[in-house]
Amino acid sequence: MLKGKNALVTGASRGIGRSIALELAKQGANVAVNYAGSEDKAKAVVEEIKAMGSNAFIVQADVADEASVKSMIKEVVSNFGSLDILVNNAGITRDNLLMRMKEEEFDQVINTNLKGVFVCTKAVTRQMMKQRAGKIVNVASIVGVSGNPGQANYVAAKAGVIGLTKTTAKELASRNIHVNAVAPGFISTDMTDALTDEQQKEMLAMIPLNKLGEPEDVAKVVRFLASDDANYITGQTIHIDGGMVM
Ligand code: NAD
């Protein structure tokens, strides 16, 4: 499905990003594994990809830092020769009720989760325009559609990602660059493991399919949107939430 395609996945050392990197590789793509934290975990993902027969390497960058992102994209293109797929997955949470949320918590989340998508998208666009082809998939969140108490910063960022997806899709369509988003619901990762049993129970009560999603549930939809099977789809946000928001 993705044989010969070259991809970059941000925040790919664990969780959903790791799963996306492995799924793209499983379909034949070469993958640059971006990380900001643990180099060991990123290296382990690279080894898993190489074992599948695809090419992979780690590339360190804070997605919100334009200079680092520019040099990351340069490194990816010089290693792979092209960049066909960008998955903007990196994200953080700094939850707090509005009245308690510090300006710093708001800024950190907006910088990583929203500005990061802008910076990475802008940095790959020149290359994709040259190629006259590209697929960009942004990882938003269902709470960017529904809102969520205690997450003003995160919700604002994810709603922003959905808007950014539509705008960049319109701007880049004439260059054959497709931009879509996925909006996961509650997916079982480090992010959701941090919730209390009570919070997890409340969560399940809101999900018609009555289970948390797995990172692979997200990865498979991203793989579809990154493939030629999605050539007539752009500007969309696909909910992967067990029916929670409909
Ligand atoms: P996670 O915390 O397990 O992984 C996030 C990854 O992003 C980590 O590898 C981290 O190192 C990386 N990262 C953080 N800041 C970065 C930065 N500045 N530059 C580069 N990398 C950075 O979380 P996850 O659950 O796998 O989340 C992945 C994405 O999915 C995020 O965008 C998150 O908002 C979104 N999401 C998750 C859920 C869920 O239920 N887990 C639901 C909806 C959306």
HEC string of the chain equals CCCCCEEEECCCCCHHHHHHHHHHHHCCCEEEEEECCCHHHHHHHHHHHHHCCCCEEEEECCCCCHHHHHHHHHHHHHHHCCCCEEEECCCCCCCECHHHCCHHHHHHHHHHHHHHHHHHHHHHHHHHHHHCCEEEEEECCCHHHHCCCCEHHHHHHHHHHHHHHHHHHHHHHHHCEEEEEEEECCECCHHHHCCCHHHHHHHHHCCCCCCCECHHHHHHHHHHHCCHHHCCCCCCEEEECCCCCC
Contact 114, 108 (CB under 8 A): no
pLDDT interval class at 59 (50, 70, 90): very high
List 35, 80, 106, 154, catalytic entry: 154
pLDDT at 192 over 80: no
Position in ligand 1 atom list of the atom nearest CA 139: 32
Mean predicted confidence (pLDDT) in 141-160: 98
**Per-residue confidence (pLDDT) for residue 155, from 0 to 100:** 98
- Is 16 annotated in a binding site? The answer is no
**Per-residue confidence (pLDDT) for residue 200, from 0 to 100:** 85
Instruction: State pTM to two decimals.
Output: 0.98
Contact 225, 20 (CB under 8 A): no
ipTM > 0.90? yes
Query: Could you tell me the distance, in angstroms and rounded to a whole number, from the CA of residue 16 to the centre of ligand 1?
Result: 7
Q: Looking at domain 6-240, what is its CATH homologous superfamily?
A: NAD(P)-binding Rossmann-like Domain (3.40.50.720)
**What is the C-alpha to C-alpha distance for residues 31 and 177, in angstroms, rounded to an integer?**
19
Position in ligand 1 atom list of the atom nearest CA 143: 43
pLDDT interval class at 199 (50, 70, 90): confident
> Does the annotation mark 35 as catalytic?
no
pLDDT interval class at 196 (50, 70, 90): confident
Query: Could you tell me the distance, in angstroms and rounded to a whole number, from the CA of residue 10 to the centre of ligand 1?
Result: 9
